[in-house]
Amino acid sequence: MVKKKADESTEELPAVEEILITEKIKVKDVADLPGVGEKIADKLKESGFLDMMSIAAASPKELSDAAEIGDATAAKIICAARETLDIGYETADKVMERREKVMRITTGSKNLDALLGGGIETGSTTEFHGGFGSSKTQVAHQIAVNVQLPPEKGGLSGTALFIDTEATFRPERIVQMAKAAGLDPKEALQNIIVARAYNSDHQFILAEKAGELIREKNIKLVIVDSVTAQFRTDFVGRGTLAERQQKLNRHLHTLQRLADVYNVAIYMTNQVMSRPDIMFGDPTAPIGGHIMGHFSTYRIYVRRSKGEIRIAKMIDSPNLPEGEAVFLITTDGLKDPEEKDLKKR
């Protein structure tokens, strides 16, 4: 095996194809990859690059920053990981086989589940955006409980990771919802791992460290509430817009990598702003611009109606039609409305 220190010239490293083919290296661990020794492997693992897939899905810049190596070396390491996994073109039926492994988490509302194609989907990112009081965080609490349910009840028998950027996580709400779902409240709280992000850098680090927790804690759902709040605070004014969008884009791709590598569901809430140039119709627009819009697999706009009634609208999806769903926010959590409730609209 050819090993290389981080400060050595990258020109001395043989071509990846030559190493893999001529020496027929059996790569079982990150440290076995050409160009990676124990020290570099330790740095990569500390940064959340724990297996071949996480490295193969990374960019050279991400890997070089994590392991303090050159971009050329990082590119060769990524290429080696991809060769090991045999990543390349494939027929659509193979893609279909992977899609059949996708699972869904019920929201507790049949109407909302139907809008989402069966619930919050694993391997994808689902964004709920709306004004304050529109129930984005309520949905986050509900699915953090529901993911713990067995599959026959709409769960994944897993745990949840909750990145809280707005200090909105409330364990008391989890207790209420857990009791209504027939779960032990104490166990339900233990199955939700919470981290409070105090700025965008901290939020970024928490997302990068999530991979290790996902493997250790049987995490099936990652929640970021909200994904844009800290970026709005840290980057103020038009002069910082480009830097903000670049950093947000990198953070979003970190979340997408978690979904791809570990087949977990990513649920994000997003703030909105009011557009003064809109004279007619709803002036509400989500934060994050085109980067946020293009990134989310499923994009839902949720708004408040009368009383406990909420209305969710599918804004964008690769395979689901546009539509609306009406649901209720109650003490026990998300529910479907009855006829008498609909008359309040």
The pLDDT score that the predictor gives to residue 256 is: 92
CATH dotted code for 98-342? 3.40.50.300
CA atoms within 13 A on the CB side of 62: 21
The pLDDT score that the predictor gives to residue 323 is: 95
Q: Which parts of the chain register pLDDT below 70? A: 1-28, 274-283, 340-345
> Model-level pTM?
0.80
Tell me where in the chain the CATH 3.40.50.300 domain(s) lie.
98-342
The pLDDT score that the predictor gives to residue 281 is: 59
Q: How far apart are the C-alpha atoms of 63 and 151, rounded to whole Å?
A: 36
**Cβ–Cβ < 8 Å for 69, 63:** yes
The pLDDT score that the predictor gives to residue 14 is: 46
The pLDDT score that the predictor gives to residue 30 is: 81
Q: How far apart are the C-alpha atoms of 139 and 226, rounded to whole Å?
A: 12
Q: How far apart are the C-alpha atoms of 344 and 103, rounded to whole Å?
A: 35
Sign, CA dihedral 303-304-306-308, equals positive
**Cβ–Cβ < 8 Å for 20, 35:** no
The pLDDT score that the predictor gives to residue 279 is: 58
Tell me where in the chain the CATH 1.10.150.20 domain(s) lie.
10-85
**Cβ–Cβ < 8 Å for 210, 222:** yes
Outline where DSSP puts E strands in the chain.
104-105, 120-121, 125-129, 159-164, 192-196, 219-225, 265-270, 272-274, 284-286, 298-304, 309-316, 324-330, 333-335
CATH dotted code for 10-85? 1.10.150.20
Q: How far apart are the C-alpha atoms of 196 and 206, rounded to whole Å?
A: 9
